[in-house]
A and B are shown apart, each in its own frame.
Chain A
Amino acid sequence: MKINNNAVLSFKGGIHPSGNGKDLTSAKAVQTAPLMERYFVLLGQNAGKAPEPVVNKGDVVKKYQLIAQASGFVSANLHAPTSGTVGGLVTVPGPMGVPAQAIEIVSDNLDEAVEPMESIDWRNSDSKTILDRIARCGLVGMGGASFPTHVKLSPPPDKVIDTLIFNGAECEPYLTADHRLMVEAPRKVLEGAAIVGKILGVENIFIGIEVNKADAITELQTIADGYGVKIVPLQVQYPQGSEKQLIDAITGREVRSGGLPMDAGCVVQNVGTAKAVYDAVVGGIPLIERVVTVTGEVVAEPGNWLLRIGTPVMKVIELAKGVTDDPGKLILGGPMMGFAQKSYDVPVSKNTSGILLLSKADAVNYGSGSCIRCGRCVSACPMHLVPCLLGCAIESERYDLAAQNHVMDCLECGACAYVCPAHRPLIQHLRRAKSEIRRRSQKK
């Protein structure tokens, strides 16, 4: 265990993005968005299998009502974000750029809710009861991977979990949603963390927070002891919030190549998930809204919004009073790992942590040069890979060589491409190699 003194912890590698754009929104309190006319709740917004719709066109639904049932174990329920009628199954632009299926809910502006589920006295319940509630409420990891939470919290019995880490690092530039959440709802986050600790039977519960969120650290530190949670200040370093890097920073353990955090005895969750766990278990409310940072230099009024799942991005930008200039690129998530979008009609999903509009100057293409073997990417790679070699190998389609050099361990954080003086599109190469290698191994 690294953590005994009050040192500010970190991992080896990574980058320090300058001018990280957090000032735009870090002091802006979360505002609740008004009701929209229509919501488009994407079906495939969790990792694993998409849930099956259980409502039909024309059905009248109420807020919190189940509209899609998890199909299989690795899947998550979906609930109506507001009351109204079901407009049917429609095709909308998906967050991955390909059209996706969504359930359209036409609001009746009443926002009537079904009776919320009973609050669970989690301290005196067994973990199965709590897990069932989490599964019923359709919780997924809110950090980005959107892996169903109940699956992640049911590790196979042969894995010994002794450490639970909550990720409040929020290392992505521009994003402040988790930051605001920790400042404004510290008790909910801490109690949610304690509930997850109870499910796993783990006593070592940490919340790692980068030191640029000093108010969040002090806020949580004053009350954390009451929940049996330790607050760990972390250095401002990207990608501090990545599972494996967070485990390394806090526990000093290494997740072996190809392994999962549970192999190192750890489970990592986002602080947003902790809050959702609290809402589900104590409040009895399913996951239908989340805090989203709406930001970027061209946004007229950047801020943090509590948005219902399914809100179209266009409407959110209208809430932020539109744009001051033509945006260069729309990104869902942060600038490093987020996904560029083709359409403003894409709806907010459970893992949308930010809506970022880059200015034209920031979205410029520098053109790519040849690798000059300077090795900056090597020192920046948090997984200790050799991106320059991988990039060259993939350009000559030597996927075998890329696989030999552990391209599959790449977490696509983008640190290598960020530091590359030749502006090489390394991440795109690495992603392509990963998808190609996956495709080939599936073929066999």
Chain B
Amino acid sequence: MSEIFSSIILPAVIFMGGLGVLLGVVIGVFAKYFKVDSDPRVELVTELLPGANCGGCGKAGCSDFAKSVVDGENPPGKCPVSSPEQVSSIARALGIDAGESFARRAVVCCGGDVEQMVRTPNYNGVLDCASAVLVAGGPKGCSYGCIGMGSCARKCPFGAIEIINNLAVVHSELCVGCGTCVAVCPRGVIKLVPAEAEVHVYCNNPDKGPDKRKVCKVSCLGCRKCERYSAEKFGTSGFLASVKYDAAELPTAADVEAIGCPTGALLTAKRHLEIETNNPEFAPNEDK
């Protein structure tokens, strides 16, 4: 027994142990000379962030944003994807103020689906909005509305945009307001609005009323009916009404009811979604 110990086990243990110690010393020396001062807080914040890497904060991905939070450049609330709980947990971990939360949602300011808007029949190019807009200004009659080829839907990291009846519609419960779609849309018809806003003007065409009417049934005519109802909540620039999103009080479904927009361009997001999805002729899941 002791023979085995002294001839096999002991030399092996001594040899491997000695080598281990030697290599450990070498690594130690290197670690000392090539020391990198990394901030463990950056890693911590990165872990607490949602990791969507959507770029909605304006930084190149979550770890970049984490660095800017640790450096004090941005408040954690600038992340559009994080829930308030996530934001406050980051703030608590760093012992700083959470900052104002920027909860926003995207909204496609256009109601011009296949039924409502005049279309040019003979577009036969690439099915992509940015490409289509280069050919005779796109396949729809309106030069300001949604093209409906789904460039935004393909880019949305959260799958929140659906193309229904050739019109992009945002499902606000899925949208986090990262703004990816806003950058993609060649028409600039997608806007970021406060998350709690429920009423929007679904038209983006600043032309004169009759010109709009020629191409689209649900365009805003600029009649100022909504502005007359409440100048605090609505404004009109040129011939296009808009909701004043930075006003103290946002319009509600009851307001929409009371105004009774003559073309139906002023809608709640819920009603807009209902109109598009319940269109029997163009039901989204219907096999054709």
Which of B100-108, B120-128, B247-255, B267-275 touches A?
B120-128
Contact of B211 among A96, A97, A99, A435 (CB under 8 A): A99
- B residues in contact (CB < 8 Å) with A: 120, 122, 124-126, 128, 130-131, 134-138, 141, 143, 207-208, 211
Cβ–Cβ < 8 Å partners of A91 in chain B: 207-208, 211
> Is there a chain B Cβ closer than 8 Å to A398's Cβ?
no
A341 touches B125 (CB 8 A): no
B125 touches A425 (CB 8 A): yes
Cβ–Cβ < 8 Å partners of A429 in chain B: 126, 131
> Is there a chain B Cβ closer than 8 Å to A431's Cβ?
yes
Cβ–Cβ < 8 Å partners of A428 in chain B: 125-126, 131, 134-135
Cβ–Cβ < 8 Å partners of A328 in chain B: 122
Q: Is the interface of A mostly helix, strand, loop or mixed?
A: mixed
Given contacts A91-B211, A365-B124, A428-B125, contact A98 B137 (CB under 8 A): yes
Cβ–Cβ < 8 Å partners of B125 in chain A: 425, 428
- A residues in contact (CB < 8 Å) with B: 91, 96-99, 328-329, 339-342, 363-365, 368, 425, 428-429, 431-432, 435-436
Contact of A97 among B124, B126, B131, B136 (CB under 8 A): B136
B136 touches A342 (CB 8 A): yes
Cβ–Cβ < 8 Å partners of B211 in chain A: 91, 99
A99 touches B207 (CB 8 A): yes
A97 touches B137 (CB 8 A): yes
B126 touches A339 (CB 8 A): no
Complex formed: what's the CA distance from A436 to B122 in Å? 24
Taking the closest CB of chain B, its distance from the CB of A43, in whole angstroms, is 16
Contact of A436 among B130, B135, B141, B143 (CB under 8 A): B130
B143 touches A363 (CB 8 A): no
B131 touches A432 (CB 8 A): yes
Complex formed: what's the CA distance from A339 to B124 in Å? 14
Complex formed: what's the CA distance from A365 to B207 in Å? 33
Given contacts A342-B120, A363-B122, contact A99 B134 (CB under 8 A): no
Complex formed: what's the CA distance from A185 to B208 in Å? 45
Cβ–Cβ < 8 Å partners of A431 in chain B: 131, 134
Taking the closest CB of chain B, its distance from the CB of A27, in whole angstroms, is 31
Cβ–Cβ < 8 Å partners of B124 in chain A: 363-365
Complex formed: what's the CA distance from A68 to B234 in Å? 38
- With A363-B124, A428-B134, A428-B135 already in contact, 15 other A-B pairs whose C-beta atoms are closer than 8 Å: A97-B136, A98-B137, A99-B207, A328-B122, A341-B136, A342-B120, A342-B137, A364-B124, A425-B125, A431-B131, A431-B134, A432-B126, A432-B128, A432-B131, A436-B130
Complex formed: what's the CA distance from A165 to B207 in Å? 44
A96 touches B136 (CB 8 A): yes
Interface centre among B122, B128, B135, B136 (most CB of A within 10 A): B136
Taking the closest CB of chain A, its distance from the CB of B186, in whole angstroms, is 9
Cβ–Cβ < 8 Å partners of A96 in chain B: 136-137
A432 touches B136 (CB 8 A): no
Contact of B136 among A340, A425, A435 (CB under 8 A): A340
Taking the closest CB of chain A, its distance from the CB of B283, in whole angstroms, is 26
Listed by A's residue number, 30 A-B pairs whose Cβ atoms lie within 8 Å are: A91-B207, A91-B208, A91-B211, A96-B136, A96-B137, A97-B136, A97-B137, A97-B138, A98-B137, A98-B143, A99-B211, A328-B122, A329-B122, A340-B122, A340-B135, A342-B136, A363-B122, A363-B124, A365-B124, A368-B126, A425-B131, A428-B126, A428-B131, A428-B135, A431-B131, A432-B126, A432-B130, A435-B130, A435-B134, A436-B130
